[in-house]
Amino acid sequence: MEHQPGKVEMGQGQPESGPQVSPRSRTVAAVLAFLVGWLGIHRLYVGRWGWGAVMLALSIAGFAVAFPVNNLGLLLVVPVWVWSMFDFAVIVLRRFRDKEGRLLLR
C-alpha cells in the first residue's frame, strides 16, 4: 500500500495537539470579572461554583459587617476585590480555565 500525502492510516495519527477550548466566552468572563468580580459572578459563569460561592459569601458578609462595624467589612471585601482583579488579568492573558479545565479562548 502506498502512502498518500495528507492521508492518515490507522494507528499513525498524531494525538490532538493544543488546549481544549471552553465554549464560554472569554470576553463575557472578563467583563463580569471587571464589573462584578468581587461577587464571584465570573467564576459562576464558567462553572466554578465552589470558589464563586466563596467569593459571593465573603462579599455579602463583608458588606453586612461594614455597616454595623465601621471598616471591618473591608477586611473581607478588599481581598476578594484583589482576587477578582487577579482573575481578570488571568482571563485577559488567556490562562483562565472553566470547570472542566478548558481554556477560555473564544
3-state secondary structure the chain: CCCCCCCCCCCCCCCCCCCCECCCCHHHHHHHHHHHHHHCHHHHHCCCHHHHHHHHHHHHHHHHHHCCCCCCCHHHHHHHHHHHHHHHHHHHCCCCECCCCCECCC
pLDDT at 90: 96
Q: What is the mean pLDDT of residues 95-106?
A: 93
Asked if residue 15 has pLDDT above 50, the reply is no
Instruction: Give tens-digit pLDDT for 32-81.
Output: 999 999 999 999 999 999 999 999 999 999 888 877 777 778 888 899 99
Asked if residue 87 has pLDDT above 80, the reply is yes
10 Å CB burial of residue 91 (0-12, 13-18, 19+) is buried
* Residue scoring higher pLDDT (13 or 46): 46
* Residue scoring higher pLDDT (60 or 5): 60
Of 15, 14, 96, nearest in space to 51 by CA: 96
- Domain boundary assignment for the chain: 26-92
Cα(19)–Cα(80) distance, rounded to whole angstroms? Answer: 29
**17 in Cβ contact with 78 (< 8 Å):** no
Asked if residue 14 has pLDDT above 80, the reply is no
Residue percentage of the chain with pLDDT more than 70 = 83
